[in-house]
Structure 1
């Protein structure tokens, strides 16, 4: 799966808008700290950094995506963030699992 495919899936399935323009724009804005949503920007930036993304077409693995969010999740739990933001982080992790589960199931179909 590419980072772009994952971002599109998360935008569609997480319940929260992820894309801020197309995939390339979203990554650039996230890495620059100018994504329209601060938390989502941090999530996208962490995943992009985990694969040294120079383009949205870079492959990303489930482990890379979820591991990238680890420090953000720990910081959110340690700091006094809203329950809403904690829920968003958890929904994002579940949506990442869903994306890779669907990809694996699609690969098994004859």
Structure 2
């Protein structure tokens, strides 16, 4: 649902060859996760898909590789926003992948008393 080029366009850092290889794997994993969590995902996916997938991958790339939830070095402290760390999709991101809910159509009656 996204490419390494899509990911590179969304960050100001130049990805090394090793980071590009890891990003490709994470993009495939995030895409599979999205398909599993949104069974009615349209084909082709919505235009929001590359951004959603890249956001999840960038979040995973920023997570500490050793799984620490927080770290402190001198006066600087960093805490992960998600206790699970790693690769995940938020509910809002999943909503961006779901097909829109169709508006109700047809005739109906309103009874008054």
**TM-score > 0.5 by shorter chain:** no
TM-score (norm 2): 0.30
- Which of the two has greater strand per residue? 2
TM-score w.r.t. the length of structure 1 is: 0.31
Give 1 or 2: higher helix fraction: 1
